[in-house]
Structure 1
């Protein structure tokens, strides 16, 4: 029983769902009029709730993906698991988003005929699909703007493969040094003013912090006192240095999150629908606003309920069958994630 509890920590499922909902909360305001600065998270922390949610995903991903590699350090097995977990759900979401939005809110005549090489390349790169304009007159004209992070998620998977294949995870001080260098960029003023660096450096840095929480799990001490210090130090640093919000959230928020994960909490068992909620939240909100323009709060609540339903369908008919296929082809003892 202890082994099963370690292999499936439902606190992680709850956290992932919370992060996906944060993304929906952020997008409800941004898609409405394109002004993310009035979103509550942006006003409080200089980061939107969407950015905080994505960082949470990448922190957990860094921890779990390195754990997956360490439990079965075979490149083919590792890549098979990663592809089966992320790609089928992504492809179905892209196709459905393109089809539904293209039919219900196309911005140009002949929308489907004009899908070309840029669309194909963007999908092959696991990014946000590049299509002709949709939702004409709206500030955001994309089919599914949330999917841009999938490219960087898979890029981090490939970095784990490279580090693992080279045996660098056995040199933990080196991994820590790389992570500190990346996190240092989050605090550097140069980083704040160069958007072309934000996506790659920022998300890789966050992922690397999660990886270090796993690599140094036998050295990191989780105690209520330290959690209380982190809970106070994070907000204080954010108030004193608002432009360094992300670094404070990743470091202190990361400690609090993994402190919570290791607690013996009784969390109800439920399907891991977070990926599906994330995949479908954006087009659902955009379509809701297109047809029912009004309060972002109403948009958020309606889209969350619909996305939870679609997330469940994605889990039951796409993601879970792929997980079963993964377990069938790989040793059950080695499928930690």
Structure 2
């Protein structure tokens, strides 16, 4: 992500949708990928405390929430399905395809495993997550499943389809409760984390000014942020019990408070250049981070792995993510914009009426 509302996969929001830039969301995006990387690449405490698992769930719930927020905002403003799918597919697939090609060369993946991942079916056909550093790619299948569903609904209902995220989120959460699924990689048991971001987009659009006014006093922001964060953290622990079912909505509450708050110390941190850069390359960081802790990089004693090799892993990851983002992914994004520019002009919303 860069300056601009973030996508689920780290890209800046497309110009065609005229989505207002929310600088603080750069920081939230950066936080989400840092949580995921920390959970997968570092020891965060005694195994008995399961801190790594908790932090991973925190990062993914933020990641998914931001995705839902972006996608529903896009559909709300520009319901052209061709433009939407063209830009989403060319945002997600190029980096994934390159990553799979690298894994084929390094780990000799079977054609079936590659196909399952390219068809975004690995969270149901889980053999697609074995044979190399593939275990994190299930999230892309959840994302793509949501894209296809909202595109299909928009094809028939236009921008009104966005309102279906409300009942859809409730239904998915009820299915999770019935299945006893605190956390699951299957789309129908996880997509409420994306749908909650869609709900946040609708709430922010209609009640954003009221929320901002409510959070204007610093003490109120701190109280709301503290309470929501504590509950969200608990909901990311298996011993958090039934609160796990509310994780999508607590993550959305956290994001909503952050994006509407006016507490300057927090905003300066979230809007920093470092946060913006991490957000910009966040999709590539996510795609490649498992590779940098595989094979030789994950052998040896704890001292060798975490004090010697992990710094090398982070350096390699940063280089790969930077190269992928700016030299490989951006040209594909530019191609997507070029292919859909005429349609964008046709379906772009009219300018807001002047009030002066």
Rounded to whole Å, the distance in 2 between the matches of 1:303 and 1:161 is: 38
Tell me the equivalent position of 1:93: 99
Note the 1:180-199 alignment, pairs <5 A: 180-186=170-176, 188=177, 190-192=179-181, 198-199=185-186
CA distance in 2, matches of 1:88, 1:161: 20
1:21 maps to what in 2?
Answer: 34
Deviates more, 1:119-128 or 1:161-170: 119-128
Displacement of 1:172: 6.6
Residues 43-77 of structure 1 deviation map (CA, whole Å, 9 limit, x = unaligned): xxxxx322221111110000101112222211211
Q: In the alignment, which of 2, 11, 23 is matched to residue 24 of structure 2? A: 11
Residue 147 of structure 1 contacts residue 279 of structure 1 at CA under 8 Å; is this kept in 2? yes
Q: Quick check: 1:294 aligned with 2:294? A: no
Using the alignment, how far apart are the partners of 1:39 and 1:56 within structure 2? Answer: 19
Question: Cα RMSD over matched residues?
Answer: 3.8
CA separation of 1:309 and 1:11: change in aligned 2, threshold 3 A: farther
Aligned residue among 65, 74, 77 for 1:59: 65
- 2:64 and 2:130 mapped to 1: Cα distance? 30
Give secondary structure in 1 for the equivalent of 2:207: coil
Q: CA deviation at 1:87?
A: 0.5
Contact 1:143–1:283 (8 Å) recurs in 2: yes
- Give the structure-2-normalised TM-score: 0.72
Comparing 224-233 with 278-287, greater Cα deviation is found at 224-233
Within a 5 Å distance, the mapping from 1:123-272 to structure 2 comes to 123-125=118-120, 127=122, 142-167=132-157, 170=160, 174-186=164-176, 188=177, 190-192=179-181, 198-217=185-204, 218-219=206-207, 221-222=211-212, 223-224=214-215, 225=220, 228-229=223-224, 231-233=226-228, 235=230, 238=234, 242-263=240-261, 265=267, 266-268=271-273, 269-270=276-277, 272=280
Where does residue 108 of structure 1 map in the other structure? none
The equivalent of 2:8 in structure 1 is none
In 1: Cα distance, 2:222 partner to 2:336 partner: 37
- 2-side partners of 1:235 and 1:260: how far apart? 15
Q: Secondary structure at the match of 1:166?
A: helix
CA distance in 2 between counterparts of 1:151 and 1:205 reads 14
The verdict on how the C-alpha distance between 1:122 and 1:98 changes in structure 2, with shifts beyond 3 A counting, is: same
Q: How far apart are the structure 2 equivalents of 1:162 and 1:132? A: 27
Q: Quickly say closer, same or farther: Cα 1:320–1:160, change in 2 above 3 A.
A: same
Asked whether the 8 Å contact 1:16–1:57 carries over to 2, the reply is yes
| C-alpha distance 173-76 of structure 1, shift in aligned 2 (>3 A) | closer
Per the alignment, residue 320 of structure 1 pairs with 330
- Using the alignment, how far apart are the partners of 1:286 and 1:97 within structure 2? 11
The answer to whether the 8 A contact 2:145-2:187 is kept is no
User: Could you tell me how far 1:236 is from its partner in structure 2?
Assistant: 5.1
1 CA distance for matches of 2:81 and 2:175?
Answer: 30
Runs of 5+ in structure 2 lacking a partner? 6-14, 350-356
- Which region of structure 1 is more displaced relative to structure 2, 201-210 or 118-127? 118-127
Structure 1, residues 147-187: CA drift from partner, whole Å, max 9, x if none?
A: 1211111111111112322327527765322222323445x
Name the TM-score, length of structure 1 as normaliser: 0.75
Please give the residue correspondences for 1:37-76 in structure 2 after superposition, counting only pairs within 5 Å.
38-42=49-53, 48-76=54-82
SS at match of 2:79: coil
SS where residue 92 of structure 2 aligns? helix
Report SS of the residue matched to 1:17. helix
Q: Among residues 278, 284, 299, which one is paired with 2:286 in the alignment?
A: 278
Distance 1:189 1:178, change over 3 A: closer
- Report deviation, 1:315: 0.5
- How far is 1:282 from its partner? 0.7
Classify the secondary structure of the residue corresponding to 1:167.
helix
